[in-house]
Amino acid sequence: MLILSLLSNPIKALGFILGLIIAITVHEFMHGFVAFRLGDPTPSYEGRLTLNPIKHLDPFGTLFLFLVGFGWGKPVLINPLNFKNPRFGELLVALSGPFSNLVVAALFSISLRFGLVEPVASIVSLIIFINLMLCAFNLLPIPPLDGSKLLWIIFPKIDMHQLERVGVSILFFVLIASYLTGYPIFSSIIMPIINFLAKIIGAGNISI
């Protein structure tokens, strides 16, 4: 269990918590910021145009992160009808979250090239990993993850609301199955994506 590993290693725990706070806060803030810039005031009304982590952390999503290493932040409410092009606008909002995590990971990876001493290097590596993990996980085309919005563009007649209800059940089932069986179902899917992204930003092979 991930939480037991963290409890046995204070440095890893610190890096994980910092990475978690940074990754989720930036991810959800960017959803709200892009929606606001595209003409939707809803995130502003909901108080989501802030880098205050308390506004963005979801209790269940955070719990699953500690249990199985995958989770989510509090969804940012938007109204696509406020966009000039609702379908394309919603796609931009969705992809802004994962993209922001990739940018954060890239910025932190630059510091690794200056030969950081331990334990700073380990903490920075964890921050990079968690941002890449959140990026890769949310790019999966499973509703309501951000990547599922691509399906709406490719198949415009899809009932996304119906798919999101089904997708949430699938995600919870897989996450719980991973926890109960100890088999890293999602890890086997997204670790190749994480490693690919890590190489693109020059972070090499990293792990938690």
What are the tens digits of pLDDT across the range 126-140? 999 999 999 998 998
Q: What is the mean pLDDT of the chain?
A: 86
Check 28, 46, 118, 164 and give the catalytic one. 28
Whole-prediction pTM: 0.88
- Best CA proximity match to 175, nearest among 60, 34, 8: 60
Cα-flanking dihedrals φ and ψ of residue 57, to 5°?
-80, 135
Query: Given pLDDT bands bounded at 50, 70 and 90, which one contains residue 2?
Result: low
Question: Quick check: is 164 catalytic?
Answer: no
Provide mean pLDDT across the span 27-42. Answer: 97
Give residue limits of the domains in the chain: 2-200
The DSSP annotation for 75-123 comes to PPP--GGGSSSHHHHHHHHHHHHHHHHHHHHHHHHHHHTT-PPTTHHHH
